[in-house]
Amino acid sequence: MSTGTNKTFDLRFAKINILGFSQFDQKNSFNKNAYPLIDFLTNIQFRVIEDVKRISCLITVKMKIKETDEAFAELKVETQFEVNPFDQTIVKESKDTNDYQIPNILMYNVANVSVSTVRGILYEKLKGTVAQDEVFPLIDLAPQFMKNQPAVK
């Protein structure tokens, strides 16, 4: 994969961990035919796992019923990717810290694949619920990742 600079790297899926899924009872009544029914709140975090030469992306999706603002469900998924060459692509800032310099294009690609994976898992988890036909929002990650980024810890 070309990074748009002189560096290139290979990115491979290593692991998918579903860390948690919860669906909550609704205390308030709501229009089950409303569209859109759900607000999706998404959080994306990264972690470098240096000993196995991987980068991890943790995505948490919280779903709320728009009409009542009640929590409907929550899903947490960690995806891990092998990066090759790891040491030339993900550079530790110093031996005394856990801060890394990671190319934006790498973070962008990891986030895109991870969000798509979570979307598929969420689709399966919501089968048989009032949210099974909800259209999941697309997330444009380019503005967040295609600019200067701080070091990842």
Task: Identify which of 97, 36, 112 has the alpha carbon closest to the alpha carbon of residue 72.
Answer: 36
Task: Report the pLDDT value the prediction gives residue 2, as an integer from 0 to 100.
Answer: 37
Fold of 10-145: Bacterial Protein-export protein SecB (3.10.420)
For residue 73, what are its two tokens? Answer: 């469900």
Query: pLDDT tens digit string along 125-152?
Result: 999 999 998 888 777 777 777 665 545 5
More confident residue, 38 or 150: 38
Beta strands in 24-149 (DSSP E): 38-49, 54-65, 71-84, 91-92, 100-101
Q: Judge whether residue 29 has pLDDT over 50.
A: yes
